[in-house]
Amino acid sequence: MTIKPREKTAMYLVDTSVWIKIFRDRTGSARKSFEDLVGDENIYLSRFTQMELLQGCKDDREWRLLQAYLNDQDYIEQNSGSWVDAARIYYDLRRQGLTPRNSIDCCIAGLAIAHELILLHDDRDFELIQQVRSLQCSRLLPTT
């Protein structure tokens, strides 16, 4: 009997830009696109996403609901080397004449690379980062 090796499943790090797109979309197309792409695969967030989403709350009710939701999510954590890796991504971009709009995106990209995750986003900074790093990513496009 031959045993087939278990296929590696896709794992995603979901950027803040995707959550914002889903939360703001009244048609449901962004959520449908997200569900079609991710399916039952594992998804993770970074603490940066947690921070960015919470700081955008419009009132205490929204804060409490979002915080409860975010508390139940799985997170990929930074380590001491993560900060240097992120700084190097930013540095390498600048040396090529490219400037990311947000250095936090370098931190998020570094996490995705270090943990071999597919970064799901809707942010052009990650496309810049792909020019200097082997970042696996997919841009969320809503279905029509």
Q: Could you state, in order of their start, the residue ranges of all structural domains in the chain? A: 11-139
- Judged on CB neighbours under 10 Å (0-12, 13-18, 19+), 106 is buried
Give pLDDT, residue 142. Answer: 64
**CA proximity to 129, closest of 18, 105, 117, 140:** 105
76: left (phi over 0), alpha (psi -120 to 50) or beta: beta
Give pLDDT, residue 1. Answer: 52
Q: Say which CATH architecture domain 11-139 belongs to.
A: 3-Layer(aba) Sandwich (3.40)
Q: Could you give the CA distance from residue 28 to residue 99 in angstroms, rounded to a whole number?
A: 33
pTM: predicted TM-score of the whole model, two decimal places: 0.89
Give pLDDT, residue 121. Answer: 96
More confident residue, 7 or 14: 14
